[in-house]
Amino acid sequence: MIDRRMVTTTTAACPLATPTVAGARRVQVRARVFRLPECGCCGAWVAHLEQHGFAVDGVMTQDMEAVKNRHAVPTPLRSCHTALIEGCVIEGHVPATDIRRLIDERLQARGLAVPGMPVGSPGIELGGARDPFDVILWSGSDTRIFSSHRG
């Protein structure tokens, strides 16, 4: 017969088998983020990723254009920072939930982007103001809306 103490003791001894509130425990995902050292919104976006369980390796550079060119980020999709996560390029203030969805669904794409710097996107929270913005899924020159975030 299994009682509550046995379940509690067993799950405490085997934390990897214990489900989280949102479902199965997730493996920590590594992110390499290229950004300007003086950019505060980039630092805030890195903090957003860390709060959502990503392990971030920050790479400070003054030549973000070279980073974007090296990773073939289309000019209309460019923003202030560029990240490499699970073989995808993440451009700009993409919400961590959208990055997780891309990884979980194993979609074939070059990456995700939030062009520009919309107020209310992760890292650009300004007193609760929120502009609507779209997250763009891209592969080469092909793009489509991956998700929409409305104020």
135 bridge partner residues: 147
Structural domain including 101 reads 26-149
pLDDT score at 1: 37
Whether 17 is in a domain gets the answer no
- pLDDT(41) > 70: yes
Q: Among 98, 81, 100, which Cα is nearest to 23's?
A: 100
Assign residue 59 the CATH number of its domain: 3.40.30.10
Question: 56-106, pLDDT tens digit by residue?
Answer: 999 999 999 999 999 999 999 999 999 999 999 999 999 999 999 999 998
Whether 16 is in a domain gets the answer no
Whether 137 is in a domain gets the answer yes
pLDDT score at 26: 58
Whether 48 is in a domain gets the answer yes
pLDDT score at 133: 95
Domain count, the chain: 1
Whether 134 is in a domain gets the answer yes
Average pLDDT across the chain, whole number: 83
Q: Among 146, 151, 25, 4, which Cα is nearest to 77's?
A: 146
Whether 2 is in a domain gets the answer no
Measured on CA atoms in the order 146, 107, 112, 37, is the torsion positive or negative? positive
Q: What is the pTM of this model?
A: 0.80
